[in-house]
Amino acid sequence: MEQWKRSLAACITSPEELAGYFSLDPEPLRAVVDKYPMRISPHYLSLMHGDGDPVWRQCVPDPRELKDDGLESDPLHEEFLSPVPRLIHRYPDRVVLLAGSQCTVYCRFCMRKRTIGCTPGASDHQGLDDAFHYLEKTPAIRDVILSGGDPMLLVDDELEDILLRIRRIPHVEIVRIGTRVPVTLPYRITPRLCRMLKQFHPLYINTHFNHPLEITAESADACSLLADAGIPLGNQTVLLRGVNDDTDTMKRLMQKLLMIRVRPYYLHQMDPVRGGGHFRTDVKKGMEVMAGLRGHTSGMAIPYYVIDVPGGKGKVPVLPDSGRFVGDTLLLRNYQGEDIPYPVTLDSDFTTLPE
């Protein structure tokens, strides 16, 4: 058996097992796990030090998940935007194809916590056929994003089959895969997998690191194999209270991502998902974190800070306070807080700038 499959089989899924590693009372966590399953991979477990550390908070069930927080289970109305069960079609030219509902680690803040891990991951052929039928008859779609669940938990042959079927559709220009395995199950990225993936270029992978502690020698090796297969790597981080909601942590995370050849793409405002309220931060906090990045470190290290507008209305970038207009002049606010005048039109004159 390949190492990653052994590792997947060795994931812990109950509070009792967790109590074998850390001193904790499993009793209050049982009801949480009945509603929202738990799964922690051996690799991710090895990054945990104890109660309340940034890795712990992301994966250990918390009774606060069961509190009636007044939030919706599907805040982005993904189900409403699904023409067939396995597709989410929100934007005209791109679509999310749900590859499964299994992940290596069930993140407690997951925006799809209503479905993730709840149904068995057995391949649902009818669902896939319906999804492909829709893709084939919708020529506007030029970008297919495999997500889930984690598409990399499919075995190589299943994943290859899906990629082959996508590539047979002439109007699909690019394929993206969203996966957390470089963080949670880095052994999943094997040379064999990379040889398979590189047949399907242009193929992009977005991974999901949330804290500098998650960047280990193993995850660096995994990203290196993917990058050497010519796959551009991006990263989507979720802004999480008590995990990464401070400028120093975020800056270090972004810098370390560049060191493993992963380009920061999005920093997501935590969605208002039921059971995840305790992870939410103010938008002001996100803007403060972004202001602490821009100018203070490599521009390559700066993601877009985006809010996924509730109701499925799309992602909107929240830009830092970049300045204000005074007549024909834009006062640009730089990273040191200075206001520097810049002409808005080419024929406006620097000499008439306000003092």
Enumerate the β-bridge partners of residue 273: 72
When the beta carbons of 60 and 131 are compared against ligand PLP, the nearer one is 131
What is the helix (H) or strand (E) element at residue 323, kind and residue range?
strand 323-326
Residue 65, contacted partner among ligand SF4, ligand PLP, none, CB below 5-8 A by kind: none
114 binds ligand SF4 (CB under 6 A): no
| Number of residues forming the site for ligand SF4 (CB under 6 A) | 11
Residue 93: strand, helix, or coil: coil
Catalytic residue among 90, 108, 114, 280: 90
Both structure tokens of 102: 């299994």
DSSP character for 348?
Answer: S
Active site residue 59: no
65 binds ligand SF4 (CB under 6 A): no
Catalytic residue among 53, 64, 69, 91: 91
When the beta carbons of 213 and 329 are compared against ligand SF4, the nearer one is 213
Least Å distance, CB 150 to ligand PLP, is 16
Nearest to 105 by CA among 205, 184, 47, 5: 184
Burial class (CB in 10 A: 0-12, 13-18, 19+), 304: middle
Identify whether the C-beta of residue 318 lies closer than 8 Å to the C-beta of residue 307. Answer: yes
278 binds ligand SF4 (CB under 6 A): no
Residues that bind ligand PLP (CB under 6 A): 88, 90-91, 94, 96, 145, 315
Least Å distance, CB 110 to ligand SF4, is 3
106 binds ligand SF4 (CB under 6 A): yes
150 binds ligand SF4 (CB under 6 A): yes
> H helices of the chain, where?
3-9, 15-19, 27-35, 42-46, 54-59, 125-136, 156-167, 181-184, 191-197, 217-228, 247-259, 283-291
When the beta carbons of 272 and 323 are compared against ligand PLP, the nearer one is 272
DSSP character for 175?
Answer: E
Enumerate the β-bridge partners of residue 323: 332
Q: Which residue has the tokens 């194999």?
A: 225
Least Å distance, CB 269 to ligand SF4, is 14
Active site residue 44: no
Active site residue 271: yes
When the beta carbons of 10 and 319 are compared against ligand PLP, the nearer one is 319
177 binds ligand SF4 (CB under 6 A): no
Identify whether the C-beta of residue 39 lies closer than 8 Å to the C-beta of residue 106. Answer: yes
Residue selected from 89, 90, 112, 274 as contacting ligand SF4 according to rule CB under 6 A = 112
Identify whether the C-beta of residue 96 lies closer than 8 Å to the C-beta of residue 145. Answer: yes
CA–CA distance, 228 with 225 (Å, rounded to integer): 5
Query: How far is the first Cα of the chain from the last one, in angstroms, to the nearest whole number?
Result: 72
When the beta carbons of 65 and 308 are compared against ligand PLP, the nearer one is 308
Give the residues lining the site for ligand SF4 (CB under 6 A): 103, 106-107, 110, 112, 116, 148-150, 180, 208
**Active site residues per annotation:** 90-91, 94, 103, 107, 110, 112, 271, 308, 315
